[in-house]
Amino acid sequence: MKSRRKKYSKIVFLLGIILCTLGITFISLKCICNLSINLQEKEAIKKYYIPVSNTTNNKTKVIKNEKKEIIYIGILRIPKIKLKRGLVEKNNYLNDVKYNVEILDSSDMPDKENRNVILAAHSGNSKVSYFKNLDKLKIDDMVYIDYDNKTYNYKVVNIYDIEKTGKAKIIRNQNTNTLTLITCKQKTNKQIVIICELII
């Protein structure tokens, strides 16, 4: 009877060690993976700002990287909330709130006249909650988009809430270039919409 208990205790002890080892390995791999992604994202932002001569004209363009690397077409900067985030092409799988700040399908890019750049991201506490502090923005705060070797300077002109229905009513001046930022309002069934206008 004692030998059975001893055997059982050894098995439980060994299983405990195996489970602890597996848990530590899983957590370590996740940390390494997250660190690798963070480094890759920082490198992609750096590469965005390195101009390359284009032999067909005198314009500069961003470096085209390998397929497996993150290629940013622009950078969103909101100094007040310490956000600096790369933007990818609309058809890129990373252009999704599950991974990044998303450029919505109905959005135009900042170089189009009297058009609207529409960006959405998660709020909350997850790793991808890039707009978690968006509610701290106030009227006259500045937001920047670096795109096609130019910086577009936007000023916040309107902030309002809408019901979370999957559609957003955007109230903006149709005669100016605008940037719209959208995220969920935490602990409510609403979304916050921030309208910014391009300034010279």
- Beta strand segments in the chain, E: 51-53, 60-62, 74-78, 83-87, 102-103, 116-120, 142-147, 150-163, 178-184, 190-199
Residue 70: pLDDT band by 50, 70, 90 thresholds? confident
CA dist., res. 24 & res. 10, Å (int): 21
Whole-model pTM over 0.75:
no
* pLDDT tens digit sequence for 3-43: 666 667 777 777 777 877 777 776 665 555 555 566 667 67
Per-residue confidence (pLDDT) for residue 14, from 0 to 100: 75
Q: Is residue 58 predicted with pLDDT exceeding 60? A: no
